[in-house]
Every structure is written in C-alpha cells, then in structure tokens.
C-alpha cells in the first residue's frame, strides 16, 4: 500500500564533499509534489563542515541578510568651507571663548570676519559684504565698512574683553605647555597709527610698520598673548 500524501515537509541532512576533501553539511527541507509525483527541495541551509582528516563538525557563520549589519538610516549631506570653520570654532572652544569675552553682537562680528579672512585667503574687508551673500556667517546682517570700523574701534578700547579672551584660551592649554615667542612687523599705509614708524621693516617694502610680539602655544598652534611696539624698535 502506498504511503499517504500529507503535504508536510521533511527536514533532512545532505553532505557534499568538496575537491579539497572538506565535507559540507546542509540542512535540507523537502516536500512531495503530488502532480509531478516526486520529491523536491523547498530550502537548503549550510550548517557546518568537516575539515579533511577530522571528524569534528565546525559550525559555519550564517550569511548576513541584505542590509544587515550596515549603517541604518544613512544620509548624504553636502558641506562647505563655512561648515568646516563652524565646526572648528565649536570643537576648539574659540567660539565659546569669544562669546564669553565680548557682547553677543561684537562676538558674532568678530567670528564672521575671522571666517571671512580664512575662507577668502585674507581678502580686504570691503569685499566682505558681497562675500556674505553666498556664505552664511554668525552675524546675519551686512558687515559694511561702518560696521567693521566701529567694531575695531570698540574692541581696541575693550582691554578687559581682550584679556578675558586670551585668559580663556590659556586656561584650555595642557599642564606645563611649551610656548614660543614670535616677533614680526606689520606694514601699514595709515598715518593715524601711533605705533607706525620708519626704520625697521622685515618685509622691506619701505612702509611704516608696527611691531607685533606674540606668545604662542606650540602644541595648540595659536596665540595666547600679544603686545604692540613702535615699528622702529629692532629685535
């Protein structure tokens, strides 16, 4: 009497010997096709292998499903120079130190001008207002000649704010930092700078100069103190 057809699947095992002598063991699920009158394979899964010359079954790692183990919810984002400078300002603490030392309006202007000078390779300030159109900066309003002129005058008279900023930067240095002393001259066409003098010019351009003395943190690569001298005082 023929075996009754139940429609159930059967789980069995299949072994396959490879050319290198290893035997791969598969778990095979089969079922009976009533119309075709034959058994067919529903699914097959690798369970392990027996290496040549051994009897031990080594369990193999299951294959990863598509997308499994990848980055979930990945997004692509375009970034530019101003985004990088914004990140640098936050990561270095410079933004926080400037805002803690000056009023919110002056701090936003200072950070905006600094990013403009870095981003434009040191272009002159009259070009800043048009540069702002394509580059978002901390100070949202237009920085015209009147605006940055007043800013420089106010910051130049705000010795407390300047000292507060450099104190904040010095506080971020590691213990026993290595410091370097730098002396340079800044040429100027201005006739209103009291320190601008003839007689000592490292650029050799024949202009009046102001001597700038700066104390740098070697590791942080940034100034932590400075002072000015008349340009005719040699090193």
Report the pLDDT value the prediction gives residue 67, as an integer from 0 to 100: 56
Edge-to-edge strands, sheet with 23-33: 10-17, 23-33, 38-50, 57-59
In the block, tokens 């009291």 appear at: 194
Report the pLDDT value the prediction gives residue 146, as an integer from 0 to 100: 93
Residue ranges covered by each domain of the chain: 10-58, 76-172, 176-234
pLDDT tens across the length of the chain (235 residues): 455 555 677 788 888 888 888 888 888 888 877 787 778 777 888 888 888 888 888 887 666 665 555 556 677 766 788 899 999 999 999 999 999 999 999 999 999 999 999 999 989 999 999 899 888 899 989 999 999 999 999 998 999 999 999 999 999 888 888 999 999 989 998 888 888 888 878 888 889 999 999 999 998 888 888 888 998 888 8
Handedness of CA 95, 98, 104, 109 (dihedral sign): negative
Report the pLDDT value the prediction gives residue 72, as an integer from 0 to 100: 60
Say how far residue 195 (Cα) sits from the centre of its chain.
40
Beta bridge partner(s), residue 144: none
Report the pLDDT value the prediction gives residue 163, as an integer from 0 to 100: 92
Could you give the residue ranges of the DSSP H alpha helices within 75-233? 81-92, 94-101, 104-119, 128-131, 145-157, 159-171
Reported pTM: 0.59
Report the pLDDT value the prediction gives residue 71, as an integer from 0 to 100: 56
Report the pLDDT value the prediction gives residue 60, as an integer from 0 to 100: 72
Report the pLDDT value the prediction gives residue 104, as an integer from 0 to 100: 93
């Amino acid at each position: 009497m023929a075996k009754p057809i139940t429609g159930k699947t059967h789980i069995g095992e299949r072994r396959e010997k490879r050319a290198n002598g290893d035997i791969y063991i598969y778990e095979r699920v089969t079922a009976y096709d009533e119309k075709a009158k034959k058994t067919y394979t529903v699914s097959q899964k690798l369970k392990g292998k027996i290496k040549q010359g051994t009897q031990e079954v080594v369990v193999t790692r299951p294959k990863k499903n598509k997308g499994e183990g990848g980055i979930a919810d990945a997004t692509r984002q375009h970034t530019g120079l101003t985004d990088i400078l914004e990140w640098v300002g936050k990561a270095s603490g410079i933004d926080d130190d400037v805002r803690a030392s000056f009023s919110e309006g002056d701090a936003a202007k200072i950070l905006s001008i600094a990013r403009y000078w870095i981003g434009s390779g040191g272009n002159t300030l009259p070009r800043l207002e048009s540069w702002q159109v394509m580059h978002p900066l901390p100070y949202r309003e237009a920085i015209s000649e009147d605006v940055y002129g007043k800013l420089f005058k106010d910051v130049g008279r705000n010795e407390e704010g300047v000292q507060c900023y450099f104190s904040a930067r010095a506080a971020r240095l590691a213990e026993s930092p290595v410091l370097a002393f730098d002396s340079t001259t800044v040429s100027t066409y201005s006739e209103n700078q009291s320190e601008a003098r003839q007689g000592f010019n490292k650029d050799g351009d024949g202009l009046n100069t102001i001597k700038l003395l700066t104390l740098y943190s070697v590791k942080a690569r940034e100034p932590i103190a400075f002072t000015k001298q008349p340009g005719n005082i040699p090193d």
